[in-house]
Amino acid sequence: MTLDTSRIGARSAPTTVSWTTTESLLYALAVGAGQDDPASELAFTTENTDGIPQQVIPSFAVVLGFAEGMPEIGTYDPTRAVHAEQSFEVSGPLPAAGRAEITTTITDMWDKDPHAMVWTETELRDPDSGDLLARSRTGAFLGGAGGFGGDRGPSAAWSAPATPPDHEREFATRPDQSLLYRLTGDRNPLHSDPAFAARGGFPRPILHGMCAYGFVARMLVNELCDGDVAPFRSMSARFARPVLPGDAMRLRVWRDEEGASFQVAGADGVIVIDRGRVELARP
């Protein structure tokens, strides 16, 4: 296995992605909208409810940016590749249906010998005006792909606020959540094929990190913005531990003037999503 460090800085040719209300509604269902109460989040789950215009969960921007998949970076073991970190920012509410021009740049390859981290940055722009719709930054952990003599990358310190959380909410995904979420575009067999997951050392297929991430984005819109996506500007987090479909989790949120910090713990109290941060537009 050899990563191709000459690919750092490589930028993909622009491609165009298009979506309809079907894709944006499916994404909302795939990240739990309406799961507890089908009538509670109709702005995310319907496009024709009287007096309730459709809204798009902001993390859908990341899914749109994944349309072309991982760019060419060399060779690695796909059973040991996991989504490690994700951030995104949006210029404003995403349209329920539309088109965007996508470009992805390989920005970093960190040598965590014997492992590696590869970072990509994706931009979504209006194909007519060129205006930026969203930008996302993705960190992929590649087990066993290190040892190529590259930079280890920074080790930024982070700790949760010492005060009690301002919001806490328990939630759980469905046992078949990965089978639903994969219909949004991520068909990695790690999330559906028991034999493939076993080769990666997992007892059964794991939940997509971006599925749990989307659950959290949706709940943050509800908890911090009263269900209105308009103030939502950015979100970042690290996937600290794999989650299995059906697992119970607890979201903890600490508010501040710019937005909030957050963590997600599993039923055993161990952190599964860490270093969470959301920024909101000021009134």
Q: How far apart are CA 109 and CA 81, in angstroms?
A: 14
Helices and strands: H and E segment counts in the chain: 6, 10
CA–CA dist 7, 21 (Å, integer): 36
Q: Are β-strands 271-280 and 132-142 bridged in parallel, bridged antiparallel, or unpaired?
A: unpaired
Query: Could you give the CA distance from residue 40 to residue 152 in angstroms, rounded to a whole number?
Result: 46
Return the amino acid letter for 19.
W
By the 8 A CB rule, do 44 and 57 touch?
yes
Give the residue numbers annotated as catalytic, written as ranges.
186, 191
Residues 144 and 115 sit within 8 Å (Cβ to Cβ): yes
- The one-character DSSP state at 91 is S
